[in-house]
Amino acid sequence: MVKTNKILCAFFALAFSLMPYHYALAQSEDVERITEITVSGNQRIENETILSYMRLDKGDVISDKTMNRALKNLFNTGLFADVNLEKDGTVLKVAVKENPIVNQLFFDGNKRMQDEQLIDEVQLKPRVIYTKSKAQKDVERLVSLYQRGGRFGVTIEPKIIEREQNRVDVIYEIDEGPTTYVRKIIFVGNKAFSDSTLQDNIMTKEDRWYRFLSTTNTYDPDRMAYDKELLRRFYLSKGYIDVEIETAVAELTPDKEAFFITFTLKEGKRYKIGKVSMKTTLEGLDTEALQKDFPIVTGDWYNADKVEDVIQNITDAVGNLGHAFVDVTPNIKPVEGTNIVDIVFDIKEGARVFINQININGNVRTRDDVIRREFRVVEGDAFNSAKLRRSKQRIENLDFFSRVELDTKPVAGSPDKTDVDVTVEEKSTGSLTLGVGWSTYDGALIQTGISERNFLGRGQYLGFNVALAQKRTEYDISFTEPYFLGRDLAAGVDLFNMTHDLQDTSSYDQSSLGGALRLSWSYNEELRQSVKYTLREDEISDVDPDASLYIKEQEGKALLSMVSQSISYDRRNSTIRPSDGYVLTLSNDIAGLGGDDRFLRTDVYAAKYFPLADEWTLAFKGHAGYILGFGQDVRINQRYFLGGNDLRGFEQGGATGRDRASQDALGGDWVLTGTAELIFPLGLPQEMGVRGRLFTDVGATGEPPDTGKYTIDYSSKPRASVGFGISWDSPMGTINIDIAYAVLKEDYDKTEVFRLNFGSGF
């Protein structure tokens, strides 16, 4: 009995174990496989292409899973508006409806934005497959573009018009809405600086009537993020090491007509510099010699910009000693219980990283080599962050781009290499200038000009200018190639024709017709050299019958052939509106290599600027010049005349020696001038460009020639004046108004109290 039970148990076990096999066998007999696939509805896309997207073929099993997968694959291509898969026995029927092709693209309702601006933002273009998702993404991009321009009430609706052959015209209907301006910018937490001071140091501005030509009074999230960085840099440059720009919040009013922007910050303490030292692990490095040229000294307020300058100086100096891989880290150590920080510059061997590739993106017109030549490093060089920062600054200084971004990223699989990616956004570099105005010296003025600073995308300058004034007419054409022969060598040519009415000053008219060839190059970032050859014909004409005998003797034409050189050492923080640093310039002109004139002229210019406070600058300027004739007197049009812009309070040439009978200014063979000037704000917004000036000018000039032939009034005693003035960088050019009084003068000098220069460009 026991034996029988065991046999039954074994039989049932075997039966149960074979059940899945029999079930699977039965199932396999019910499996259906594809014997044929038919495709319908397609017009442009081949059957084979559709089958390849489906990833199904004859002999494959037909199941819900495989059909769903095939359906998803076809939709994911973006080629089809509708897909239907139907099983007819072992035949799989595929019916598709292709997405249409864009025939034409239109924008309707756009007034503030040109079609060219909008089409750069959209994916849908003629001959591109249309999908609703692409159209929606295009709408999002266009809305973002308008919002960056300050129009947050914009609405855009895409519409299509069906054409034959499964084509569509796409129309973006745009309601631009009103411009949404920044009504108020609020700062929370600022104690050391007023709201107006902080507003002057960010890009976003409050809406004001005088900002009608600006776009900075609209809300831009990218600009506001940059404003946070600008605020941080400003505080760091003023000694606030612990500053935190916590939040920047923009709130749109319910009517979408204005933004209120709030910056919340913590200033922290202001620090002065204590001990400044260096430590290094590099052998043979003389740290004391390096420290002599530091732009920061004990007792100064901490300035992050100057600390950055020190890092740059150390990196360059150590690199010149043969250390290609250098890491300079400033360790800022606050002295406990004080507002003093000690700075230790830690100089050590840096990681051995090389630049693999420099990739340039975003430039459409500007050629790659125009950007690439501004880099202080090349592919294969040792990685140097200071030189990369300088490269970015040089690219920005080209003024061809509204945005320059520089990023680095390591090369995968090569830890000793890094790529440098440069992304630029081009801006308009051509300009048409029209100007009307009046100046004390030239009278009423009309000026026009056309210029292109990035001619043909090569970085070349081409300009044509015309100035028509009561006392001056000038035509000139100028062309400059900044990298002549592929080197850091600027070459240029000038052609000009000028006439000048000098009847009030010296009783004659002067005209000049000619041209010049120029070359200039840099020895380093501060030292620049230039040479020039000038060939021109000068004519002194329309001499008054009662003019000085000296002037009558020079009536007629003379050919000038002159070689000039100028070398300049410029350490100013800005060439446009300097507030710190100095500049020295030495120039020489030698005439006589052909032509009629024979002379040597030497001029020395110097200026020094001292920052006293925010927007307060003390400036000292000086000029000394001397001209020596070779075997002949120097013609009157080459001599020095003192007065006017170089000695305010005196007429043009008003402090120069003159013929006693005719009162004609005759010029001198040397000149000395000096100016002390205090430049200060007038309480107006900084971007208006209005500044006040208090000044004093001094000067003296040499004796006119051949004084034995006629009686002259002349004195080498210094003249001086004091006064005040206003400068305005207006949309039509810079306007200078000066009120000056002569305090040291001779009886025969000609003075003027009011002087106005007003001219060019809008």
Q: What is the pLDDT of residues 345-362, one digit of tens each?
A: 888 877 778 889 999 988
Answer whether residue 19 shows pLDDT above 70: no
H helix or E strand, kind and range, residue 20: helix 2-30
Of 88 and 27, which is predicted with more confidence? Answer: 88
Token reading at 35 = 């014997």
Answer whether residue 760 shows pLDDT above 60: no
C-alpha to C-alpha distance for 82 and 111, rounded to whole angstroms: 37
Q: What is the arithmetic mean of pLDDT over 216-235?
A: 87
What band does 762 get if pLDDT is binned at 50, 70 and 90? very low
- In this prediction, residue 562 carries a pLDDT of 96
Q: What is the arithmetic mean of pLDDT over 557-564?
A: 94
- In this prediction, residue 410 carries a pLDDT of 85
Q: How confident is the model over 495-537, as pLDDT tens digits? A: 999 998 888 888 889 999 999 999 999 888 789 999 999 999 9
- In this prediction, residue 213 carries a pLDDT of 63
What band does 721 get if pLDDT is binned at 50, 70 and 90? very high
Q: How confident is the model over 90-103, as pLDDT tens digits? A: 788 888 888 888 89
Measuring CA to CA, which residue among 692, 542, 715 is closest to residue 615?
692
Beta-bridge mates of residue 628: 600
C-alpha to C-alpha distance for 432 and 447, rounded to whole angstroms: 11
* Least confident segment among 4-8, 29-33, 468-472, 590-594: 4-8
Q: How confident is the model over 364-396, as pLDDT tens digits? A: 888 888 889 888 888 888 887 778 888 888 888
What band does 761 get if pLDDT is binned at 50, 70 and 90? very low
Torsion of CA 582, 588, 589, 593, to 10 degrees: -150
Q: How confident is the model over 324-347, as pLDDT tens digits? A: 677 888 999 999 889 999 999 888
- In this prediction, residue 671 carries a pLDDT of 96
Check if the beta carbon of residue 668 is closer than 8 Å to that of residue 704. Answer: yes
C-alpha to C-alpha distance for 752 and 643, rounded to whole angstroms: 10
* Least confident segment among 15-29, 39-53, 437-451, 719-733: 15-29
Check if the beta carbon of residue 507 is closer than 8 Å to that of residue 548. Answer: yes
What band does 241 get if pLDDT is binned at 50, 70 and 90? very high
| C-alpha distance from residue 546 to each of 222, 504, 543, 668 (Å) | 68, 12, 8, 21
- In this prediction, residue 593 carries a pLDDT of 86
Answer whether residue 734 shows pLDDT above 90: no
Q: How confident is the model over 408-467, as pLDDT tens digits? A: 888 888 888 889 999 888 877 777 766 666 666 677 777 788 888 888 888 888 999 888
**CATH code assigned to 36-98:** 3.10.20.310
Answer whether residue 295 shows pLDDT above 90: no
Residue 319 has what DSSP assignment? H
In this structure, how many other beta carbons lie within 10 angstroms of the beta carbon of residue 243?
A: 21
Report for 255-259, 407-411, 594-598: range of highest mean pLDDT: 594-598
For helices 221-237 and 304-320, what crossing angle results, to 10°? 80
SS3 state of residue 294: coil
Residue 408 corresponds to which amino acid?
T
272-349 homologous superfamily? membrane protein fhac (3.10.20.310)
Residue range 354-426 forms a domain whose CATH class is: alpha beta
Answer whether residue 15 shows pLDDT above 70: no
Share of the chain above pLDDT 70, in %: 91
181-266 homologous superfamily? membrane protein fhac (3.10.20.310)
Measuring CA to CA, which residue among 519, 537, 509, 467 is closest to residue 758?
467
Question: Could you check whether 272-349 and 354-426 share the same CATH topology?
Answer: yes
Q: How confident is the model over 145-181, as pLDDT tens digits? A: 888 777 888 889 999 898 888 888 999 999 888 888 8
- In this prediction, residue 649 carries a pLDDT of 92
- In this prediction, residue 551 carries a pLDDT of 86
Check if the beta carbon of residue 282 is closer than 8 Å to that of residue 350. Answer: no
What band does 661 get if pLDDT is binned at 50, 70 and 90? confident
**CATH code assigned to 430-758:** 2.40.160.50
Q: What is the mean pLDDT of the chain?
A: 84
C-alpha to C-alpha distance for 240 and 724, rounded to whole angstroms: 35
Answer whether residue 759 shows pLDDT above 60: no
Check if the beta carbon of residue 445 is closer than 8 Å to that of residue 468. Answer: yes
Phi, psi of 26, deg, nearest 5: -65, -40
Check if the beta carbon of residue 649 is closer than 8 Å to that of residue 723. Answer: yes
Q: In the chain, where are the structural domains located?
A: 36-98, 101-175, 181-266, 272-349, 354-426, 430-758
Answer whether residue 468 shows pLDDT above 80: yes
What band does 302 get if pLDDT is binned at 50, 70 and 90? very high
Answer whether residue 122 shows pLDDT above 50: yes
**CATH code assigned to 101-175:** 3.10.20.310
Check if the beta carbon of residue 223 is closer than 8 Å to that of residue 184. Answer: no
What band does 319 get if pLDDT is binned at 50, 70 and 90? confident
- In this prediction, residue 471 carries a pLDDT of 82
Q: Which residues contact 338 (CB under 8 A, 6 or more apart)?
A: 274
Of 575 and 260, which is predicted with more confidence? Answer: 260
Q: What is the arithmetic mean of pLDDT over 487-502?
A: 91
What band does 733 get if pLDDT is binned at 50, 70 and 90? low
Of 278 and 428, which is predicted with more confidence? Answer: 278
What band does 207 get if pLDDT is binned at 50, 70 and 90? confident
Answer whether residue 1 shows pLDDT above 60: no
